[in-house]
Amino acid sequence: MHLYVALWVCGTALALLLGWQQRKCWRLIWQLNGWRGVAQQPILWFLLCINLHPNSILERVTQMRKYFQRPLAILVGTRVLVYIDDPAGMESILNAPECLDKTFMQEGFFAKRGLLHARGQKWKLRRKQLNPAFSHNIVASFFDVFNAVGNQMVEQFASQPHLHGRAVKFTDAEDMLSRAVLEVSCLTVMGTPTNFTQTDDAHIASSYKRLLEISAIRVVKPWLQIDLLHRLLAPELYAEAEKCNQLLVEFVAGIVQSKHRNWQLRTALSEGAGEDSTAWQRRIFIEQIFQLAANGELTLQEIEDEAQSMVLVSFETVSNSIMLALLCLATHKGDCQQRLRAEIASVFPGQGQGSTPDAPHVGLEQLQQLRYLDAFVSEALRLLATVPMNLRHVSRDFQLPGREAVVPQNSIIVLDTFNMQREEEWWGDNAKQFDPQRFLDQDDQPDQSPEGEDISGSSIPKTNGQQKQQKQQRRHSYSFLPFSKGLRSCIGV
């Protein structure tokens, strides 16, 4: 009898303690969703998503979200997870100093010691230190690299018969393209020619890709964030991750250390001769931050970490974005392909006719004229976002702008860019269709999309300028976030 009483007292005490700990979470759920939020709490959402393969998560969330009132808050243990898929919500989170950090679910990420995963004050300082390395002039100075590798890639494609005709495999094209992008990343970040466009015998590109896949698996199975559990529960995955990790750490460390030795030597010699490094060297990412090591602001290890993180983010995002754009091009042959061909032919007259053997040089000036191409890429990134979801950790209680709701410290925020960018409410009735025209100015081309129609009911026809203004007014500036926005937006654009 005494035992039952003791158990009952302990159980009640535990339940009270848990309830007390969760009080702020319940208040938020109530403030956001009222009774409906409370009724939706059997953490159905969470249970349906956890443990899925990363490739299935987006599909599942897309199916489920329409049954829930949003923004949605659900309880996960003693924390609350807030799911946001509207532009105003995104704007408030992405600009809140309380939501700067990444979550514990991203702890198992590869290359997590660089800027991408830095927290709090360390992130602020690091971002300030690295920002100058991404100035417009520096990025523009790399056009020769983009052209050289691009031309090499075209030659490679031309010389591989299995990449021609109808039976081209997506994975074969992806492999070659990702190797070319990795070569550009290594050239721009570390100033090192790698020849990856031709061959990658050491499997560097595929190791980057595999480590990212494993990192994504660890996000959806958060218990694998704990090294011991990862080793015990998924030994093969663990061993594979370790092997890839070691290969890539050695690859980057070898280059950075040898470049650093050269830099020190050059600096010592040029100080004596009163010379400075060449323009080529000055624009390379690590060459720019070696000076920070010399001033004692960064250690060599930190430079290796930043180089690793930059190679990874630039390689993965750019190669995936190009593949997604090519996928859209392949599946929307008609009008899009014709318009792209016509635009390219008008900016590079005489090319592709066999009249000029040399490849054209693509510079900033030409890119600015390729407006349909720009709209085409934007539309591909809208429909198939390269970074479909972002996660944020809440470092202290904060109030959602324009609402009573207070998001408690330690909450997890999920920002669903993928679904927001395909939502009719923000993108009109044809939101799910591929239509680059929506990104072009009204005065440039007659708009066939529903967004061009007069929705005011007025019988006075609108001028192009008015239509454009109306369109921009209707589209929230945070409804298109391929590179994120706010405090922690992409440094590379």
Q: DSSP 3-state assignment of 73? A: strand
> How long is the chain?
493
Backbone torsions φ then ψ of 434, nearest 5 degrees: -85, 110
The residue among 131, 213, 190 whose CA lies nearest residue 491 is 131
Q: Smallest gap, in angstroms, from Cβ of residue 319 to ligand HEM?
A: 9
Under DSSP, is residue 14 helix (H, G, I), strand (E, B) or coil?
A: helix
Per CB under 6 A, the list member of 178, 215, 314, 437 interacting with ligand HEM is 314
Question: Residue 321 or residue 442: which is nearer to ligand HEM going by CB?
Answer: 321
Shortest separation between residue 306's beta carbon and ligand HEM, angstroms: 9
Alpha-carbon distance 26 to 73, whole Å? 9
Told to check if 317 binds ligand HEM by CB under 6 A, we report yes
Residue 448 CB neighbour total at 10 angstroms:
12
State yes or no: residue 442 binds ligand HEM (CB under 6 A): no
SS3 of residue 212 by DSSP: helix
How far is it, in rounded angstroms, from Cα 428 to Cα 237? 43
Segment interacting with ligand HEM, rule: CB under 6 A, options 13-21, 306-314, 445-453, 454-462? 306-314
Residues contacting ligand HEM: total by CB under 6 A: 19
CA dihedral 406, 412, 418, 422 (to 10 degrees): -20
Distance of CA 278 to the CA centre of its chain: 33
User: Among residues 288 and 321, whose Cβ is nearest to ligand HEM?
Assistant: 321
Under the binding rule (CB under 6 A), the answer on residue 390 touching ligand HEM is yes
* Window contacting ligand HEM (CB under 6 A); options: 57-65, 222-230, 307-315, 447-455: 307-315
Options 58-66, 242-250, 439-447, 480-488: segment touching ligand HEM (CB under 6 A) = 480-488
Determine which residue in the list 387, 412, 414, 440 makes contact with ligand HEM, applying CB under 6 A.
Answer: 387
> Is residue 95 within the footprint of ligand HEM (CB under 6 A)?
no
Contact flag: residue 103 with ligand HEM (CB under 6 A)? no
CA distance 432 to 452: 17
CB distance 304 to 252 below 8 Å? yes
Residues contacting 254, CB < 8 A, separation 6+: none
Is the CB of 390 or the CB of 421 nearer to ligand HEM?
Answer: 390
- 225: number of CA atoms within 13 Å, CB side? 14
Q: How far is the CB of 240 from ligand HEM (least distance, A)?
A: 25
If one asks whether residue 234 binds ligand HEM (CB under 6 A), the answer comes out as no
Q: Considering only residues 124-143, where is the footprint of ligand HEM by CB under 6 A?
A: 127
Q: Does 318 bind ligand HEM (CB under 6 A)?
A: yes
Q: Which single residue is written with the structure tokens 């991408």?
A: 116
Sole binder of ligand HEM in the list 79, 259, 471, 488 (CB under 6 A): 488
Report the interhelical angle of 204-220 vs 170-190 (nearest 10°): 100
8 Å CB contact between 58 and 418: yes
Nearer CB in complex with ligand HEM: 104/483: 483
Least separation, in Å, of the C-beta of 309 and ligand HEM?
6
Residue ranges binding ligand HEM (CB under 6 A): 115-116, 127, 310, 313-314, 317-318, 321, 386-387, 390, 482-484, 488, 490-492
